[in-house]
Amino acid sequence: MKIALAQLNYHTGNFAFNTGQIISNIEKAKAEGADLVVFAELALCGYPPRDFLEFREFIDSCEFHLNEIASHCQGIAAIVGAPSRNDYGKGKSLYNSAIVMSDGKIQDRVYKSLLPTYDIFDEYRYFEPSHDVHCVNINGQTVALTICEDLWNLGSEQLYKFTPMDLLKEENPVLMINIAASPFSKNHIEKRKAVLVENCQSYQLPLLYLNHVGAQTELIFDGGSLAINADGTLVDEMAYFDEEFKCYEFESGALIQASEDTSFLPTERIELIHDALVTGIRDYFKKLGFSKAILGSSGGIDSAVVQALAARALGAENVRAILLPSRYSSDHSVNDAEQLSKNLGTPYDILPIEQSVAAIEQSLLPHFAGTTPDLTEENIQSRSRGLLLMALSNKFGYILLNTSNKSENAVGYGTLYGDMCGGLSVIGDLYKTQVYELARFINKQQEIIPENILTKAPSAELRPDQKDSDSLPEYDILDEVLYQYIEERKGPKEIIAAGYDEALVKRILKLVNMNEYKRFQTPPILRVSAKAFGMGRRMPIVAKYLQ
């Protein structure tokens, strides 16, 4: 049997586009003599569809387009991920399904058994778990067809009471196929590959694994679909962060690559993060129908990295940098920001904020009389910048890119309606130390980000001689504590026991918890870690823990 995997970039809710992609690849598979072509989890509607699934018309559209796709399955079989109605009368109204098509019609439906409800996943909100676990017949072959999480209930930390493959194995399948929507995070690729290899070795079956590629708002899918034989030998891995179509021969119980032998996995983790963020920016703009970005360019490391990533994602001519100097901005910051734009080839403008700030301060003068200048006046500068950037965004149809990093977001070192403005947070899941690492990667071949930006002390430049370290611990220490608390979910006692100063730990964790209200108002953050701020981290705003 010759099997094609179509690793595609879908658009959530765009049935015409997704259906066109699927049918086009069915025809391509036919032309290459494939017996079966496979598409990813919820490919038809895009992943994640979220509350679109609660609309009857949305599910009607799924069924209509499934039948349209099935009509093209003449002389070939296809597996397509889509939601299906639950007609049994009990439980949730939908299943997360793998639809098997051939001879111009739908032949079988396999329902997902294990529904993840952790981190960014909330599938039990919409779907009923399968109570009918069975293999499917494709071209006379018995195939164990599963959906993403169904292969993850292995090892010592099992989240579910049963493992679907244990039941499917009783039907003596000759091959496993798993369709997935497995989002990228910087440590996930190795773990995912290990889990899939373990399945092959445990059940002594070869596996074809198909993933999504591309970004859906904050979620980035890396592709990296796999062909693995029963002994755990990796036959092939498909492209990362790119669409690809490949065929595999299944003969005598083994998979044989029918396409050219190439491996696309970048060797450096920072390169994966770079490629993920470029993908996230590009797809966010493309799928929203926008082409141009604007950002505030301060001459600091954060805005420099965002500007460089945006130029790579959208084209330098489509990224407009606005330099917004104040009375406290140093000459070298303005010069560095100008040099960055020249290095990248991005258009830029200099728009001083002094008049705007003075006008606001004059308006507030009667109300602030007798008070001492403090953080309020500093925030007026930041909010003036945000106002000007948003005005340019509105007038000329730009999306404003937010340039805050995860360290700042964690401890509230940012101004609501100021530097926290934006339609997309590009580096909001990168700690400050990671931003520097990414900047050095960007400069690997040539100096794009001026060296002075990499070496000078970080500063918001909202008062004379200000440095971030005046208000925050040094970033190398701060980021370690934040990582232990946010990603590792360790409490203060555990972190202190690891050797960190008790007062410092309590101070940092208090800052994190008391600034949850700010993070609730931030733009969507491109997710590159296992625990990003946003949909995957749900904390109460009005709470007392560690405060």
Burial class (CB in 10 A: 0-12, 13-18, 19+), 372: exposed
Average pLDDT over residues 375-388: 95
Q: How far is CA 65 from the centre of its chain?
A: 27
pLDDT band at 469 (very low <50, low <70, confident <90, very high): confident
The residues that bridge with 246 in the sheet, in sequence order, are 5
Structural domain boundaries in the chain: 2-262, 271-472
Whether 82 shows a pLDDT value over 80: the answer reads: yes
How does residue 545 score in pLDDT terms, banded at 50, 70 and 90?
A: confident
Helices 56-70 and 15-31, axial angle in degrees (round to 10): 20
Residue 261 or residue 339, greater confidence: 339
Contacts of 435 (CB under 8 A, 6+ apart): 301, 302, 305, 405, 427
Active site residues: 41, 112, 148
CB 223 within 8 A of CB 241: yes
Nearest to 222 by CA among 26, 456, 414, 40: 40
- For residues 175 and 143, the answer to whether their CB atoms sit within 8 Å is yes
Q: Cis omega before residue 173 (within 30°)?
A: no
Q: pLDDT class for 462, splitting at 50, 70, 90? A: low
* Average pLDDT of the chain, as a whole number: 94
- Token reading at 176: 């496993």
Q: Which two tokens stand for residue 23?
A: 């049918």
Inform me whether the pLDDT recorded for 67 exceeds 70. Answer: yes
Would you identify the CATH topology of the domain 2-262?
Nitrilase/N-carbamoyl-D-aminoacid amidohydrolase (3.60.110)
- Can you tell me the distance from the alpha carbon of 310 to that of 334, in angstroms, rounded to the nearest whole number? 20
For residue 460, what pLDDT is reported? Answer: 66
What is the pLDDT, as a whole number, of residue 467? 74
pLDDT for residue 155: 79
Structure tokens at 17: 């586009």
251 beta partners: 254
For residue 471, how many other CB atoms are within 10 A of its CB? 12
pLDDT, residue 263, reads: 57
Look up residue 93 and give its two tokens.
């109204």
Model confidence at 90: pLDDT above 70: yes
- Does residue 547 carry a pLDDT above 60? no
Among candidates 362, 313, 307, 309, which has minimal Cα distance to 340?
307
Closest CA to 526 of 415, 423, 442, 385: 423
| Tally of CB atoms within 10 A around 331 | 9
Alpha helices in 354-422 (DSSP H): 354-368, 375-396, 406-411
Percentage of the chain modeled with pLDDT above 90: 89
Share of the chain above pLDDT 70, in %: 97
189-248 pLDDT, tens digit per residue, is 999 999 999 999 999 999 999 999 999 999 999 999 999 999 999 999 999 999 999 999
pLDDT of residue 466: 72
2-262 shares its CATH topology with 271-472: no
**Ranges 313-317, 455-459, 472-476: which has the least confidence:** 455-459
Instruction: Write the Ramachandran bin of 324: left for phi over 0, alpha for psi from -120 to 50, otherwise beta.
Output: beta
Give the residue, 268 or 523, on which the prediction is more confident. Answer: 523
pLDDT of residue 308: 98
Total-model pTM: 0.95
* Nearest C-alpha neighbor of 212 from the set 9, 23, 3: 9
If you average pLDDT over residues 399-422, what whole number do you get? Answer: 96
**In whole angstroms, what is the distance from residue 34 CA to residue 237 CA?**
19
Quote the pLDDT of residue 367: 96
Q: Stretch 512-528: mean pLDDT, rounded?
A: 95
Confidence of residue 68 (pLDDT cuts 50, 70, 90): very high
What mean pLDDT is predicted for residues 381-401?
97
- pLDDT band, residue 329 (cuts 50/70/90): confident
Tell me the per-residue pLDDT of 94-146, one tens digit each, with 9 for 90 and over: 999 999 999 999 999 999 999 999 999 999 999 999 989 999 999 999 999 99
* Beta carbons of 482 and 431 less than 8 angstroms apart: yes
Query: Which CATH class for the 271-472 domain?
Result: alpha beta
Output the pLDDT for position 471. 74
- What is the pLDDT, as a whole number, of residue 464? 74
Q: What is the mean pLDDT of residues 47-59?
A: 97
The pair of three-digit structure tokens given for residue 119, joined into one six-digit string:
């981190």
Say yes or no to pLDDT of 332 above 90: no
Judge whether residue 264 has pLDDT over 60. Answer: no
Residue 457's pLDDT is: 82
Statement: residue 463 has pLDDT above 80: no
- Predicted local distance difference test score (pLDDT) of residue 271: 94
